[in-house]
Amino acid sequence: MPSPVARGPNPDSRTPNPESPMSSVPAIELRGVSLSFESKQVLADISFALGAGETLILLGVTGSGKSVLLKLMLGLLKPDGGQVLIEGQDLVPLSEDSLQPIRQRMGIVFQEGALFDSLSVYDNVAYRLREEHVGDEAVIEQRVREVLRFVEMEPAIEKMPSELSGGMRRRVAIARTIISRPSIMLYDSPTGGLDPVTSNTINVLIAKLRDVQHVTSVVVTHRLQDAFLLANDVFSEEKQTVVPAGQDSPTNSRAATRFLVIRDGSVYFRGSEHELTSSQDPYLHKYLA
């Protein structure tokens, strides 16, 4: 097993995000997390920290443990060892009931989009509010329209999922997730199966949530161009799209993007985009080729 290459920033010396009230506590931190399914070790001693408002790009070949990591962050799976801290609170000892308020601050977008096919766009997006017993329909409708506008899908409010394209479904899935204003978003291959143009609209949306609402983001992707776009571009409210960072107003400055490459269940690389792309490590070279 080759030794891990880059070390990236020490989590303890991260620059705090000045815009975040949570700057002293990482939004997400894993400490020595290990997990086996039966006799197969899937994750071994994973540690990293992500500050509030920052972006983590999670890379790794298929089966390396990326989706399992996202499930651990939501408390859907429990590790055999280690700690999973969300905004400073360790999920591992918590019961399902105690996990609920933490999960409400988080959102996950699965690759499949996972909409209820029998429910309209409106009812899909309203679902979480109804689960949380936000009773007043006028309040629900106002909020549903607001998030659909954010993802540019308000005209489709009456449609059924079967009437939507893959990219539209993905947008609605994101709207459905952000309805309860999560401070942390987890995206599992959000552009998987989409054409490059549609993928780009999803990347713009991820950047918009991050840069306008300062949502902490974890993005699993096999598409390196998506990862580099998120690392280099910022959402411009004026242009309503992404522009290269530094070319827009200073209000568009944002917190760091960190890269993590998982290999065989361990952290193989952690660091910045520059450290990743300039690495001479043969495995990373091949991965990035």
Binding site for ligand ATP (CB under 6 A): 37, 42, 60, 62-68
For 37, list phi and psi in degrees, rounded to 5: -105, 115
| Least spacing, CB of residue 240 vs Mg ion, in Å | 31
Q: Which amino acid is at 52?
A: A
Report what 193 binds from Mg ion, ligand ATP, none; CB cut-off 5-8 Å by kind. none
- Taking the complex as a whole, the smallest distance from the CB of residue 145 to ligand ATP amounts, in Å, to 33
Please state, in angstroms and rounded to a whole number, the distance separating the CA atoms of residues 53 and 214. 5
The site for Mg ion, by CB under 5 A, has a size of 1
64 binds, among ligand ATP, Mg ion, none (CB under 5 to 8 A by kind): ligand ATP
Which 3 state secondary structure label does DSSP give 135? Answer: coil
d(CA 54, CA 260): 13
Which residues are CB-neighbours of 32 under 8 A, at least 6 positions away? 45, 46, 47, 81, 82, 83
Helix residue spans in 15-95 (DSSP H): 66-73
Strands (E), the chain: 28-37, 40-50, 55-59, 81-86, 89-90, 106-109, 184-188, 216-220, 233-236, 241-244, 257-263, 266-271
Q: What does the alpha-carbon distance between residue 88 and residue 149 come to, in Å, rounded to a whole number?
A: 33
Q: Which is nearer to ligand ATP, 67 or 180 (CB)?
A: 67
Phi and psi of 150, rounded to 5°?
-60, -40
The residue (of 67 and 252) whose beta carbon lies closer to Mg ion is 67
Residue nearest to Mg ion (CB): 67
- Is there binding between residue 191 and Mg ion (CB under 5 A)? no
Nearer to Mg ion, 67 or 216 (CB): 67
Instruction: Please identify, using beta-carbon distances, which residue of 145 and 222 lies nearer to ligand ATP.
Output: 222
67 lines the binding site for Mg ion (CB under 5 A): yes
- Residue 63 interacting partner from Mg ion, ligand ATP, none (CB closer than 5 to 8 Å by kind): ligand ATP
68 interacts with, out of ligand ATP, Mg ion, none, CB within 5 to 8 A per kind: ligand ATP
CB nearer to Mg ion: pick between 67 and 203:
67
Q: Which does 161 bind (CB under 5 to 8 A by kind): Mg ion, ligand ATP, none?
A: none
Q: Which does 37 bind (CB under 5 to 8 A by kind): Mg ion, ligand ATP, none?
A: ligand ATP
Whole-Å CA distances, 152 to 25, 171, 174, 199: 33, 8, 11, 15
Which CB sits closer to Mg ion, 53 or 192?
192
Which residues of the shown chain bind Mg ion in the complex (CB under 5 A)? 67
